Amino acid sequence: MTLTTRFDEAFLYASELHNGQKRKGTDIPYISHPLAVASIVLENGGDENEAIAALLHDAVEDAGGPPTREEIRRRFGERVAEIVDGCTDTDESPKPPWRKRKEAYIAHVRHADHSVVLVSAADKLHNARAILEDYRSLGDKLWARFNGGKDGTLWYYCSLIEAFQTTGKVPSRLVEELDRVVSEIQALAGQPG
């Protein structure tokens, strides 16, 4: 597959939307995350629409809400907007309570289409890798970054793994890698896997 100028345009737009944002608790530019998610999507057989959606998967939630969704639709088409919507747990401000949002997202993933599940799993894998890396250096102080704390965050990732496994809509190697990373986090955190 060859990526077109649409992908280039999506990268520039994502970079513009997330300009000045940093990864939680770090000085890492936020754009590194959508780039990594797009890479994981492409490495797991994703098409250009899925890769573009990966670049923009957090845009509605973290960079503009419904107006951003409409701009994504206008610039990149209905299919990309649908995938981004499927990866967005809320566009409300203020956001609803954390646990309620996460439970709804897990239920949604179980019935989402292949593209949404692929981008979501890639997103969670990159996030889990970052958590593992930061946990190795910060220890339990890391959990202060997360609304769900240690127990809630690990519950969320384990629940997502189970949801991804049951859908059968994402490459098993992707879910297996996510499971390995989360199991390592659990082991470091002293929680049974």
The 10s digit of each residue's pLDDT in 108-136 is 999 999 999 999 999 999 999 999 999 99
pLDDT at 193 (0 to 100):
62
Q: How far apart are CA 35 and CA 42, in angstroms?
A: 11
What is the value of pTM for the model shown?
Answer: 0.95
Domain range summary for the chain, segments of one domain joined by +: 5-189
- 28-71, pLDDT tens digit by residue? 999 999 999 999 999 999 999 999 999 999 999 888 889 999 99
| pLDDT confidence band for 21 (50 / 70 / 90) | confident
Alpha carbon 177 to chain centroid, angstroms: 15
pLDDT at 90 (0 to 100):
83
- 149-164, pLDDT tens digit by residue? 999 999 999 999 999 9
Find the catalytic residue in 62, 103, 134, 184. Answer: 62
- Tell me whether residue 133 is one of the annotated catalytic residues: no
What amino acid occupies position 96? P
Q: Is the pLDDT of residue 104 over 90?
A: yes
Query: What's the topology of domain 5-189?
Result: Hypothetical protein af1432 (1.10.3210)
What mean pLDDT do residues 97-114 have?
95
Helix, strand, or coil here: 92?
coil
Q: How far apart are CA 46 and CA 53, in angstroms?
A: 10
Find the catalytic residue in 48, 50, 58, 61. Answer: 61
Q: Is the pLDDT of residue 190 over 90?
A: no
Q: How far apart are CA 131 and CA 78, in angstroms?
A: 33
Which two tokens mark 19?
A: 């300009």
| pLDDT confidence band for 168 (50 / 70 / 90) | confident
- Tell me whether residue 27 is one of the annotated catalytic residues: no
Peptide bond into 94 cis (omega under 30): yes
- Element at 162 (helix H, strand E): helix 149-167
Helix, strand, or coil here: 46?
coil
Helix, strand, or coil here: 185?
helix
Cβ of 188: how many Cβ atoms within 10 Å?
A: 15
Percent of the chain topping pLDDT 70: 99
| pLDDT confidence band for 165 (50 / 70 / 90) | very high
Counting DSSP H helices and E strands in the chain, the numbers are 10, 0
